[in-house]
Amino acid sequence: MAEPRWLRTFDPRPEATAQLVCFPYAGGSASAFRSWSQLLPSSVELVAVQYPGRQDRLTDPMPTALAALADEIAESLAGRLHRPTAFFGHSMGATVAFETARRLRPRYPSPLTRLFVSASRAPFARRPVGQDTLGDDDLRAYVRSLDKADVAVLDDEEVWRLVLPTLRLDFDLIQTYEYVPGAPLACPVTAIAGDRDETATPTEAARWAELTVGPFETRVLPGGHFYFDDTLPELARVLGDWETGLERAHC
């Protein structure tokens, strides 16, 4: 079945009245969100997307286009949209979450009550640059420049060689992505940026406002591209506020 392949719930909360679906960054996996649910209200169940090509899906092929990836995720979520749902996507995951949200647009009423986009430029501000051409050392240096606290993967040569193919597939996916204009979302959108993130500044994050006719806000947290390494409790409060004051606007 599609659901076990694509979705992971590390802290099942069958009585929760809402769910937060989290989309990983390039090279990331569902397990990146394993501890997050402990910081969320008990009324929210966290569901993490597991992309192909990593961990327990190591042999599953990654789609060659981001649109195809969003198609499959939207299909896998179809049976889980029985309660109010928010999406959270970080970096590449923000674009994947947005494209998945667009595919829920024909559903009425849609259960999607908010889209959180983190550390990402608006999709229309991206320009496809073709497949990744960085050498291994240059790619490692770029990832290190993103200010992620956990650098064990970068410093351990054996682990780095293991994750490198997946990271390249993800980079190819986002670098070949081309935004296709369409109807805007109608749900609220919250864009979150680190105040020291040079890859997606707060000013650039604010352009997500152009992609919804619903309410929009920008939240700026201290840190770089992976600001939540140091400010996860603060981010969890932002995410928890969504459920506490759940709007009735829908995508």
Query: For 80-121, where are the E strands, in sequence order?
Result: 85-90, 112-118
Question: Is 149 a residue whose pLDDT tops 60?
Answer: no
Provide the 8-state DSSP code for 63.
Answer: P
pLDDT digits (tens, 9 = 90+) for 133-145: 667 777 777 777 7
User: In b/e form, how buried is each residue of 97-119, taking b as 16+ CB within 10 angstroms?
Assistant: bbbbbbbbbeeeebbbbbbbbbb
Please, which pLDDT band fits residue 4 given cuts at 50, 70 and 90? low
CB 204 within 8 A of CB 195: no
Q: Distance between CA atoms of 198 and 242, rounded to whole angstroms? A: 27
- Helix, strand, coil abundance in the chain, percent, nearest 5: 45, 15, 40
DSSP H or E segment with residue 19: strand 18-23
pLDDT of residue 246: 64
pLDDT, average across residues 42-61: 93
Question: Is 86 a residue whose pLDDT tops 70?
Answer: yes
Question: pLDDT exceeding 90 applies to what percent of the chain?
Answer: 61
pLDDT digits (tens, 9 = 90+) for 223-232: 999 999 989 9
Residue in 91, 110, 118, 120 annotated catalytic: 91
pLDDT digits (tens, 9 = 90+) for 166-210: 888 898 899 899 999 999 998 999 999 999 999 999 999 999 999
SS3 for 174-212 is HHCCCCCCCCCECCCEEEEEECCCCCCCHHHHHHHHHHE
Q: Which residue in this structure is represented by tokens 């919804």? A: 212
For the entire predicted model, the pTM comes to 0.90
Q: Distance between CA atoms of 201 and 208, rounded to whole angstroms? A: 12
| Residue 225 among the catalytic residues | yes
| Residue 90 among the catalytic residues | no
Q: Distance between CA atoms of 28 and 45, rounded to whole angstroms? A: 20
Please, which pLDDT band fits residue 150 given cuts at 50, 70 and 90? low
pLDDT of residue 189: 96
Residues 6+ apart with CB under 8 A from 4: none
pLDDT of residue 145: 73
Residue in 90, 110, 118, 225 annotated catalytic: 225
Range name among 6-20, 122-136, 158-172 with the lowest pLDDT average:
122-136
Q: Which amino acid is at 25?
A: Y
Question: Is 164 a residue whose pLDDT tops 90?
Answer: no
**CA 126 → CA 120, 176, 205, 208, 227, distances in Å?**
10, 10, 12, 12, 21
pLDDT of residue 249: 46
pLDDT of residue 29: 92
